[in-house]
Structure formats: structure tokens, C-alpha cells
Chain A
Amino acid sequence: MSIKREKFIRLTLTYLVILVMFAIILYPLAWIVGSSFNPGQSLSGSSIIPKNATLAHYKELFDLNQSAYLHWYWNSLKVSVATMLLTVILVSFTAYSFSRYRFVGRKNGLLTFLVLQMIPNFAALIAIFILAMMTKLIDTHLGLILVYAGGQIPMNTWLMKGYLDTIPKELDESAKMDGAGHLRIFFQIVMPLATPIISVVALFSFIAPFADFIIASILLRTEKKYTLAVGLYDMVAKQFGAEFTTFAAGAVLIAVPIAILFLSFQRYFVSGLTAGGTKG
């Protein structure tokens, strides 16, 4: 009897905690979705389930004459994809050389990368700002992509080198015997085996620019060139109460696709991360 009772209490408490957490997690999400359907620009007198729900805010966002939202969306995707491609290419090359070759400066290079990955690259934001002004890369996406990709190199090189080290060297040695050149070994033997880590690196280097606010807010000056993070913040900071419902619609349009993508790839993501974390 007492064991049964103990179990009952334990389970009740468990479900209670889970229920409270559900409320805490879902309330903000429900609130922002509700706000995005509320008529009018401000939230005064609004409720989570709006009485006369409207799609007006979504229409406004999709209208290029009224808002630059679609530009921001496009910019964010463009910058993130470009950073991802550039990072994956550069990191594969650097990680491969560090993993497979023994050359003068290798040890110091690795140590430098180790130290560099610890300092967030936005710590030097004054320098990035001034440098961008001098090179006329301010307010360009090219400048932003270069800064992002450069900042991604040290950490991801270490991550990928750790993985490449686990691919047996005998494979490339026997290929060399058979007369394969350096590039051929790289592209046809090692890289195909490294696809799991390549996808982790790709994911990291896609997410980081997408979520970054600080560097984009320093470098980008004109509204049309903003990325989503900067644009949404601007929308909020300019006149918070006044445009909140439109902001809410914008937030929903980012959160939903990303969340769906994330949840469907979650399993791979978590295992990749733990693998990288323990190997790193």
C-alpha cells in the first residue's frame, strides 16, 4: 500500500512540474502568436485569443512598400548561406592540413587557433568597425560575411581536426601508393568520410550569422541591408508599443520555419554536438 502511495505522489508531483513547465514554455509562444493576429498597432486592450483576428500585419510585412521585412529575410538567408559555404570550404582545408601534414609552424598554428577561439570575435568590435570603414566594406554584406567566416575558422578547425584525426591514415597512405595526388586524396577519400562533421560545421556556421546581432548592427547602416536580427530590433526599439503587433507577426514568421527545421533535425544535431563536445 505504502509503495503504491509513494508512487502515486511521485507521479502526481512529476506531472505537476511538467504541466507548470508546459505553461511557462508555451505561454510566451502563444502570446506572440496571439499578438500577431490582434487588430490595431498597439497591444492595449488585446487578448491572447483576439476577438476579431486579422492577417493585416502579415500582409503588411509582405508588402515591400510598407516594410523592408522581406529584404531582411532574404539578407539573413543570403549572409548565412554564404558564410556557411565559405566556412566549410576554408575549414575543411585548414583542418585537413593540421590533421594530415606535419609542417613547420603546425604546433604554433594550432595553439594560435586554440587561443583565438576563446576570444569572441566581436570583442574587437572597434577595430572591425574602423577596418570596415577604411576598406569601404561597411554597410556591405560582403564585409559581414568575411567577418563571420573568419571568426568561425578557429573553433570549427579544431572541431573538424578532432574528427579527421579519427579517420585512419592508412587509407590515404594506400591511396598514395596507388598514385593518387594530394587533391584527389582530399576530395575522394577523406572528405566523403567526414560528412558527419562537415554537416555539424555547416550547421554551426549557418546558425551563428543568423542569430548574430552585434556585428551586423555595427556594420550595416541602411535599413534595406539589415539582417533579421537587426531589423526586428530596430522595429522594436524605434517605437516599441506602437508597432508591436507587426513585430509579433515578423517574429512568428521567423520562429515557425526555423523551429520546424530544428525539431526535424534535432536528433542529428544533438548527437553531433555531444560527439564534437567530447572529441573537441
Chain B
Amino acid sequence: MSKGSYPTKHQRNALILSIIPGLGQLYHKQYLKGISFLVLAASFFIVFRDLLNMGLWGLITLGEKPFRDHSVFLLVEGILALIVVVFGLGFYLFNLRDAYKNGQKRDEGERLSNIKEQYRNLIDNGFPYLIMSPGFLLLVFVVIFPILFVVLLAFTNYDLYHSPPAKLVDWVGFKNFLDIFKIDIWRQTFFSVLGWTLVWTFVATTFQVALGVFLAIIVNQKDVKGKAIIRTVFILPWAVPAFVSILVFAGMFNETFGTINKDIIAFFGIEPIKWMTEPLYTRIALIMIQSWLGFPFIFAMTTGVLQSIPEELYEAATVDGASSFQKFKNITLPLVLFATAPILITQYTFNFNNFNLIYLFNGGGPALPGSNAGGTDILISWIYRLTMTSAQYSKAAAITMLLSLIVISVALWQFKRTKSFQEEDMM
């Protein structure tokens, strides 16, 4: 039977009636459902009318009179209104679909489910939604909402000079992004911060990984005694909370009382080094500290992998006359890298956003003349500085978007390669 050739037109009628939610269901004589849909739709409009009205107006204009309209609050209300609209539309579509589907059933002469069956259906199909909703709601408000806010903020001129309530904030389109690339000071700062971020990510991570793998391999040699103690000590930097160690290092590298200048370097007869005021030395210190903090994790992972390599592989290689170096190159290294590869990539993304170390060690400093970023600021700590100290909110938002773009593209590339993405039933 082709579409539209039924003797009855329940499908069409219900769909049209359902333009007002609930009427389609009433038409199907599902009274309880229809009435609850009607009530839901009506209360949606009554409860959210003001928010929708005000929010959408605010979202478009960002306020018209200073002191009466607070642009940022209007922006927040606007996003809330958008979220409410999305939920409303979802419900509306569900209503249309329900009326349409049941109309189809009636056209085909099937019996519609009665109240008891509807209740069972609701429980069975609604259960996943029901148990997910608390987590999902929290996610919407503390994760999705802030992201939307930052995205929108990047297209405004919200900064110290356009600060509500005395001033209004306006939409400025892509001006922030263009400024970052066009205005000299922004462009230079952006690229120097980005450059250091990449160098930092690459050097610090590679260093800590190489150190961790190297130590795991030499400790794992058969004839090394006292493995248990060695391993416990090597895990120690991981066991101490990182923020504590970083602050301790900040003390050790301090130029007036720190032990590095006072005791260690003096012991070798070298002049005190300006660890905290010379960008180059701060950078070197940061990389050394991150190696200290980060290698135990890699060490533990690699040790686990090494212990799982079957001894026969090495014996067979020895019989074939392989040297220790050949055994290392052709057996140990490939197996270790293969097993730890996914974790290695997360180490890179971790350091890319390693705010704690950069900020707690020297506040992103030392300050550079003629720049609004410190000498060791990476993108994330620069964003923090722009937000918290110089109130450059819209620029900070624009840079956040650029940063997220980098992180997402790297991470997507990584996930495409991992197993779980290719599994049949993942989705």
C-alpha cells in the first residue's frame, strides 16, 4: 500500500493538529497523553516567556542603554534562552513524531497502545534518558554553557573599556581574530607565545618520555640488584602532589635564598644564575622540573610493558647472534613504543595545557618589556593573565577558541587511530 492511499487520513490529520502540541494525541483518543502534552507546552510558554523574550532580544542587541542593560548578563540570559529553545524544539519534534507515528498505525488499522502499555513504553524507552538527565543537565550548565559563552564572547568587544554596567558591549564580528593577526603587538605576542608553547610541549614531553623509558630499561636489566627499592624511589616524584613539588622547586630556584644557587651551583664554583628573571633560564628550569615530575609515570608504564615481554624472544635473538644493541633496537623499543603510544600522545596534550607548572613556578614570568605575556607564558596561562589581570575578556575568548581548535584537531586525529573508535559497536 503506497503512501496516502489509505481510506483514512489519521496520519495527516494528527500531524496538522499537533502543531499545537497534544491535539494530535487527543485526536488519537490518548487523552492522558494529549492533556499532559498540552499542559507541558502551555507551561513552557508561561514559565519561559519572559526569559525567551528578554534573552533573545538581549542576545541580538546586547543592551541599548548603559546602566539599565547589563550586556554580559543579557548575553548569559540569551544563551539560557537558546538552550531552553533547543529543549523546547526537541519536545515539539517528539510531539509531532508521536502523533505522526500513531496516525500511521491507525491508518494501517493497528490498535494503539492503551494507558498501561504507554506507561510501560515510557519506562522502557525513557529509562536511559531518565538516569542520564542529572549528569547531562550538570554538563550543560558547567561545560557546554561556558563553552557557548566563550564562543560568543570572542565576537564581542568586552574588555576593560567596554565594561558593564557603565558601558555597553557590542558585537564586533571577527574583529578580535583579525586584531590578533593584524595588530603588531598582538601578532608578535601571539606567535611568540604559540612558538614557546609548541617548543615547550615538544621538548619537555620528549625529555620526560625519553628519561622514563631509558630508566625503565636499565633498571629492568636482569643483573641489577635492589629493584624494589629503586622502583619505589623512582615513583616518588609522581606520588607527591604536583602542586606541592612545583612550589618547592620555586623555592629551590629562588634567586635570593634558593638552594640551587646557594648550595649546588656554588659548590661547583659557578656564578649564581638568574633563574627567575631571565626568560631563557626560567625556560630551562621549567623543562628540567617537568622532566622530574613527569618521568615516573612513563617509567611505571614502561616497566609494566617490559615485564610482559616473553623471555624467549631474547633467548632466540641471542641464539641468532644478536648483540645487546640489536636486541634493544629490534625487540624492546618497538614493543615499548607500541604499547605506550596512546599514553604518550596524552602526555603531549597534557603539557600543551600544563597551566599549573607554568603559573605556580613563576607566574608565567619573568615579565617582558613591550608585551602583555610573560616570558614563559604558554597559551593557557596567557589566557588566564589576559582574563584575570588585564581584563581583555574578548581577546582571551578568541585565543581560547584558537587553542581549542588546535587541541581538538590533534585529539581527533589521535582518537581516529585508537581501537575504540574503530569498533563496530562503539556507536
Contacts and interface: CB of A to CB of B under 8 A. Distances in A.
Interface of A: 7, 10-11, 14-15, 17-18, 21-22, 24-26, 28-29, 31-32, 35, 42-44, 48, 90-91, 93-94, 96-97, 100-101, 103, 106-107, 110, 114-116, 118-131, 134, 146-147, 149-151, 153-154, 157, 162, 165, 182, 186, 210-211, 213-214, 218, 228-229, 232-233, 236-237, 240-241, 244, 247-248, 251, 254-255, 258-259, 262-263, 266, 270-271, 273-274, 277-280
Given A116-B143, A146-B142, A211 B247 contact: no
A274 B304 contact: yes
A17 B218 contact: yes
Contacts of B355: 122, 213-214
Contacts, number: 252
24 contacts: A24-B292, A26-B233, A28-B248, A31-B248, A97-B127, A121-B142, A121-B143, A126-B150, A126-B397, A127-B145, A131-B141, A134-B76, A150-B142, A157-B135, A213-B356, A214-B356, A233-B247, A251-B248, A254-B244, A255-B245, A258-B240, A270-B301, A274-B343, A277-B343
Contact of B153 (A29, A116, A127, A279): A127
Q: What are the 8 A-B residue pairs with the smallest beta carbon separation, nearest first? A: A150-B142, A127-B146, A124-B146, A97-B128, A127-B149, A90-B135, A101-B128, A262-B239
A98 to B, nearest CB: 8
B142 A251 contact: no
Interface stretch (B14-22, B33-41, B313-321, B418-426): B418-426
Contact of A110 (B125, B257, B426): B426
Given A127-B146, A244-B251, A258-B239, 20 more contacts: A21-B233, A25-B292, A28-B248, A31-B259, A43-B251, A90-B135, A94-B132, A103-B125, A106-B128, A116-B139, A121-B142, A121-B146, A123-B147, A128-B142, A130-B149, A186-B131, A233-B243, A237-B363, A254-B244, A277-B346
Nearest to A34: B259
Interface stretch (B54-62, B370-378, B379-387): B379-387
B84 interface: no
B369 interface: no
B257 A150 contact: no
A18 B233 CA distance: 10
Contacts of A43: 251, 257
SS of A interface (majority): helix
Interface in B49-105: 72-73, 76
A28 B252 contact: yes
Contacts of A237: 363
B237 interface: yes
A70 B306 CA distance: 43
Nearest to A128: B146
A233 B248 CA distance: 10
Given A126-B387, A131-B145, A236-B250, A263 B257 contact: no
A3 to B, nearest CB: 11
